[in-house]
Amino acid sequence: MKALHESQPDVAVIGAGPSGLAAMRNLKAAGIDFVGYESHAGIGGIWDWANPKSSVYRNTHTITSKEITAFSDFPMPDEFPVYPGHPQVLSYLNDYADNFGLRAHIRFNDAVEKIARSTDGGWVVSSSDGTQAWFRDVIVANGHNWYPRKPDFPGEFAGRVLHACEYKDAREFADKRVLVIGAGNSGCDIAVECCQISPRVVLSMRRGYNFYPKFIAGYPADQVGMKVRSLGLPGKWASKIMGWLLRLSAGDQQRMGLPKPDHRPLQTPAIVNTLVPYYTAHGRITIAPGVDRFEGNAVRFSDGSTQEFDIVILATGYEIHIPFASNADLDWQGNKPDFYLYAFSKKFNDLFIAGMTDSTGGHFPTVELQSRVISQYITAKRTYPAKAREFDDLIRKNNLDLNNGIDFIDIPRNATQFSLLAFRRALTEHLNLLAAV
């Protein structure tokens, strides 16, 4: 087996997007040597729109404000706007990597093709440059917003069908009749972009959602949400308060032409979009129910109505996809690996996932905290094995409640949904346990 270096680093980190970078930064802080594998030529993950796996479009801005988006130990620059665009996020991530000296550890243009259990423990990592190397621990951070979920509608559509991850620029669709299927954050952004230059834009949604404006009383909506969470109330009360704030700031969105939500705020990730209600009220976006079937250029909806389109954009979300590891090793259950704290394998004490979490409340600080727990656990295995065994006992007991009383609605996009308050609290408690030696 070809080793990467004469003295082999201990840990492999797969992916150099925000999650991989957070993992590397925390390993480095803990003094653990590692190698980062990145299939693309640069860091940044989806925020580098030159990365073939990037799912951002020309006008993507964050839906989380810059204070909430940034890592806790590396603020975004003052000159950034409240909601940075994707080139700014990429430049921030590059600065983060340079500030913490991560770049030199990363093998760019080297995609991991397989991780296999070694008979002596640990993992053999095979990558696209033909190298195989053994690592004591592997942290998977290959992202979960890049592999498209594509529903299979009956019938054939005669125009062009593309997934949101292939959508880059609305100008391509000037003068086209566009149907956007799915009213998640990407679908809403895309409908808003297209409706400014396309003659007809229809947004198909199977259920009503609560649309949060980007500002509530002049403050970024997520910062208001964080204030509500910081009260530490049970999820049902937090949801009630968010509902009141939503009504005060945005009003009754049915009057703007949007369907009534069939769930309370916080029961599904927030749709943050000021402009969908605005353009719906101006008739530039019209709302349709779910799609039943395609019939040439016509699309039949669940209420029996039909309309003709040139373009269908499937904004139907993403699947967790980890093609280089076996489902058995990943303990795949339903549509995701069944990992403790979304990070710790229940089968192997040397396999971790960083960032398999929803981005509500900012992905970066959450994965930062999660990565700190992973690196502390790896340190404990090496230095304080009794502590690591205490942690293993918690994994075995597996009795975490990460929902804080919120009953999330049963839809695929809620697979990685939790109460942010409960999740961050649990991560902090686990970190404290590992730190107490």
Q: What residue ranges bind ligand FAD (CB under 6 A)? A: 14-20, 37-40, 45-47, 51, 53, 55-56, 60, 62-64, 69, 111-112, 141-143, 145-146, 186, 324, 355, 359, 362-363
Contact 280, 258 (CB under 8 A): yes
Q: Minimum distance from CB of 55 to ligand FAD (Å)?
A: 4
The CA distance from 328 to 419, in Å, is 28
Nearest one of 431, 333, 344 to 396, comparing CA atoms: 344
- Give φ, ψ of 93 to 5 degrees: -70, -35
**Is the alpha carbon torsion for 302, 157, 271, 420 positive or negative?**
positive
> Taking the complex as a whole, how short is the minimal distance between the CB of residue 180 and ligand FAD, in angstroms?
14
Smaller CB distance to ligand FAD: residue 359 or 417?
A: 359
Between CA 195 and CA 176 the distance in angstroms is: 10
Query: What minimum distance in Å lies between the beta carbon of 436 and ligand FAD?
Result: 29
Judged by CB, which is closer to ligand FAD: 157, or 423?
Answer: 423
Tell me how far, at minimum, the Cβ of 355 lies from ligand FAD, in Å: 3
290 CB-near residues (< 8 Å, 6+ apart): 204, 205, 206, 301, 302
- The smaller minimum CB distance to ligand FAD, of residues 141 and 380, is found at 141
* C-beta of 235 vs 362, nearer to ligand FAD: 362
The nearer residue to ligand FAD, 47 or 209, going by C-beta atoms, is: 47
Least Å distance between CB 359 and ligand FAD? 3
Neighbours of 361 (CB within 10 A): 22
Structure tokens at 70: 């940034």
Minimum Å distance from CB 179 to ligand FAD? 19
**Residue 162: HSE in the Cβ half-sphere, 13 Å Cα cutoff:** 16
CA-based radius of gyration for the chain: 22
Q: Which is nearer to ligand FAD, 146 or 423 (CB)?
A: 146
Q: Which H helix or E strand runs over 391?
A: helix 385-397
Closest residue by Cα to residue 409 from 244, 208, 212: 208
Q: Tell me the closest approach of the beta carbon of residue 48 to ligand FAD, in angstroms.
A: 7
Closest CA relative to residue 32, chosen from 119, 121, 102: 102
- Compare residues 9 and 18 and give the one whose CB is closer to ligand FAD: 18
Nearer to ligand FAD, 359 or 379 (CB): 359
CB 21, min distance to ligand FAD, A: 7
- The partner residues of 215 in beta bridges, in order of sequence, read 220
Half-sphere exposure of 124 (CA within 13 A, CB side): 11
As given in the structure block, the two tokens for residue 18 are 């925000």
